[in-house]
Amino acid sequence: MLLTFILSLISFVILISFRQIDYLEYFNLLYEFISFKTLALLSMFIAVNKSLELIGAFKLLAFFILNKIKSLRAIISSLVFICFFTSMLITNDVALICFVPFSIYLLKELKVENITMQVVILQTLAANLGSMLTPFGNPQNLFIFTHFKLSIIDFINTIYIYCFASFLLLILFILKIKNQNIKIKSLEKNQINNKIFLLNIIFFIISIACVLDIFNIYFGFLIVILGSLLANKNSIFKADFGIIIIFINLFIFVKNISFFIEFNNIDIFYYSIFLSWFISNVPACVFLANYTNDFKELLIGVNIGSLGTLIASMASLISYKYYLVSYKNHAFKYIFHFTWINIVFLVVLLGIKELSRL
């Protein structure tokens, strides 16, 4: 957040130093450029997901999925694919925040810590790649969906083949892990506040309706944020709205440098992947959207761009930090394994993309 603020500030100083600008016109252009709809939608999903996390809804989901499993491979599959599928609804960041710490604890209890690194890496890939299927699965998707005013059909048609291929790759990597019979004894069913749970389901449905333009975004924003505050104030006070500040800083930064930079005839797909590796896919998405009308190349690029480096997707840093809390001496080993597994996925998805161009 601090970095994006510094970038936006520096870009503004450079702009006023080298260009004569009409400040009123500048702020009007900035107001038109900032996607307030994206910011409102992100805020709504952040609030709802935080409330569900706080009342233990995600832990209860894990309990129902894992309670009767008797094989290690089935446990691993459940831990990975719970991230894959829930990320489509609750975003990749939230999926990892909810299930990576739980997985580390569970595998330690089962005395199979030797596979924890593999599982966490696969969970990270699952969340990043599963989330690309829906407009609200990750921040870059939400931005692209609102920025280009897409329909849900156009969106899913563009990306589903890469999501499906990722699903198959995850299965192959899970099958490589040696199986054994195992019994989970330590899981306990937690109780949740049913009233707050039902309210949040309603808020979540309203949020999706706003994404699809079925419901007025600003009216929906008021209902969800005020409703969350009244139903469970911690969902607002404990939620991480830092990404909203990051987005605002990115909008300012991109608009400022657009006065100096002009791209012509670039391959948006490969540019988006390359930029994602160094500045993360959300900033790359906001930046490149200013230079293209080809939403398909940008959408595929920034989602595939989450593969490669640890910072290509900020969600990847979440699971990395959680892993290091328990295994401080494994930092380099984690990065090494994370990178080569990501490269395998990247090569396969790039091959699919190139075949689609033939």
pLDDT in tens, 195-204: 999 999 999 8
pLDDT score at 266: 80
Residues 6+ apart with CB under 8 A from 307: 125, 128, 129, 342, 343, 345, 346, 349
Highest mean pLDDT out of 19-23, 252-256, 291-295, 339-343: 339-343
Task: Tell me the whole-structure pTM to 2 decimals.
Answer: 0.84
Average pLDDT, rounded, for the chain: 88
pLDDT score at 355: 93
Q: What are phi and psi of 216, to 5 degrees?
A: -60, 125
Closest CA to 318 of 353, 280, 355, 356: 280
| The one-letter amino acid at 331 | A
327 is written with which tokens?
A: 């295994």
Asked whether residue 184 carries a pLDDT value surpassing 70, the answer given is no
pLDDT score at 153: 95
Highest mean pLDDT out of 26-35, 82-91, 123-132, 211-220: 123-132
Please answer whether residues 306 and 129 qualify as being in contact, where contact means their C-beta atoms are separated by less than 8 angstroms.
yes
CB atoms within 10 A of CB 310: 17
Report, as an integer, the average pLDDT of 87-96: 90
Read off the pLDDT band of 298 (50, 70, 90). Answer: very high
Residues 305 and 300: their CA atoms lie apart, in Å, by: 8
pLDDT score at 333: 95
pLDDT score at 188: 64
Report, as an integer, the average pLDDT of 151-171: 97
